[in-house]
């Protein structure tokens, strides 16, 4: 009897997981892409763009994780000082400026005009550009050679766990926002399936039930939980934290224009960056 009950609970849990729109969207998209309609050129383009996207994404994220873990004290940049300061500043600025510009109306139209099937591949192209920006920032950085502080012993392990947890939090927030969009998979999988890309609805589940900006909060946490501190890491942390404070305001303007009263109700019920200690009875489901 107990075994049967456990089996029933497991079945209910599996059904509930599949019913979750965050997972259901991914399953539907992957299923559609497994049976593409004829079109060798389109299929080849989709597969090549998908490969470039995810390789670039992995390389960019890995470069960021490793470089910040060492406080940007290790990298491939060799620009002589003091010109290195100018080069490093340019590397920092290029990421938030282009990242935000491509989300504007003109930026979105530019992405849609880039090559064949540009409109369908826009999210994939955006992810490729963002990934290459991150890779450039962390691979081409020229270290100052100055190390202010390096954690040791128990403090090192505490900070390492906090750093890893921050990245896991960022991964969870990205999944809650729509893994297919955040990873760039929406574009190339939609092209492969020959369907119109369907964007996720306004995110309100998971971490978005606690705060409105979990991605930016988690991203900021990765900047400040590193076990090695240098002038390089401090400059990066201050600059990108400022971006994490400004960019969400622009994002919320877009959401207010797109979702209207729904977003206003969500904004009234859910705090911006710090979760409430008590559950709000108007918390969106």
Tens-digit pLDDT string for the chain (285 aa): 555 555 545 444 444 455 677 787 778 888 878 888 888 899 999 999 999 999 999 999 999 999 999 999 999 999 999 999 999 999 999 999 998 888 888 888 898 888 888 899 999 999 999 999 999 999 999 999 999 999 999 999 999 999 999 999 999 999 999 989 999 999 999 999 898 988 888 999 999 999 999 999 999 999 999 999 999 999 999 999 999 988 898 889 989 999 999 999 999 999 998 888 766 555 554
Angle (deg, nearest 10), helices 153-182 and 40-69: 160
In this structure, are residues 228 and 150 in contact, taking their beta carbons and an 8 Å threshold?
yes
Residue 241: Cβ within 10 Å count: 16
* Distance, CA of 182 to CA of 57 (rounded, Å): 10
Distance CA 123, CA 194 (A): 15
Q: Check: CB of residue 124 under 8 Å from CB of residue 188.
A: yes
Q: Is 125 exposed, middle or buried (0-12, 13-18, 19+ CB in 10 A)?
A: buried
Q: How many other C-beta atoms lie within 10 A of the C-beta of residue 252? A: 15
Q: How many helices (H) and strands (E) does the chain have?
A: 11, 2
CB 65 within 8 A of CB 223: no
Task: Measure the CA–CA gap between 171 and 162, rounded to whole angstroms.
Answer: 14
């Amino acid at each position: 009897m107990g075994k049967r009950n456990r089996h029933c609970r497991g079945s209910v849990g599996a059904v509930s997981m599949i019913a979750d729109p965050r997972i259901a969207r991914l399953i539907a998209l992957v299923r559609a892409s497994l049976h593409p309609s004829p079109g060798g050129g389109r299929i080849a383009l989709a597969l090549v763009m998908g490969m470039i996207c995810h390789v670039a994404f992995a390389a960019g994220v890995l470069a960021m994780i490793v470089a910040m873990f060492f406080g940007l004290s290790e990298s491939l940049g060799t620009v002589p000082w003091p010109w290195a300061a100018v080069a490093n500043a340019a590397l920092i600025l290029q990421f938030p400026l282009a990242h935000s510009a491509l989300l504007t109306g003109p930026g979105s139209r530019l992405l849609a005009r880039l090559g064949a099937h540009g409109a369908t591949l826009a999210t994939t192209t955006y992810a490729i550009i963002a990934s290459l920006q991150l890779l450039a920032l962390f691979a081409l950085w020229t270290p100052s050679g100055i190390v202010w502080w390096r954690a040791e012993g128990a403090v090192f392990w505490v900070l390492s766990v906090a750093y890893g947890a921050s990245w896991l939090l960022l991964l969870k927030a990205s999944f809650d926002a729509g893994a297919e969009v955040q990873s760039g998979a929406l574009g190339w999988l939609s092209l492969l399936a020959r369907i119109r890309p369907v964007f996720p609805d306004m995110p309100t589940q998971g971490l978005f039930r606690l705060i409105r900006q979990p991605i930016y909060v988690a991203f900021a946490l990765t900047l400040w939980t590193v076990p090695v501190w240098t002038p390089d890491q401090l400059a990066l942390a201050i600059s990108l934290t400022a971006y994490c404070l400004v960019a969400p305001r622009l994002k919320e303007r877009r959401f207010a224009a797109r979702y209207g009263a729904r977003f206003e109700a969500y904004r009234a019920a859910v705090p911006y960056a710090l979760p409430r200690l008590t559950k709000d009875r108007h918390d969106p489901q």
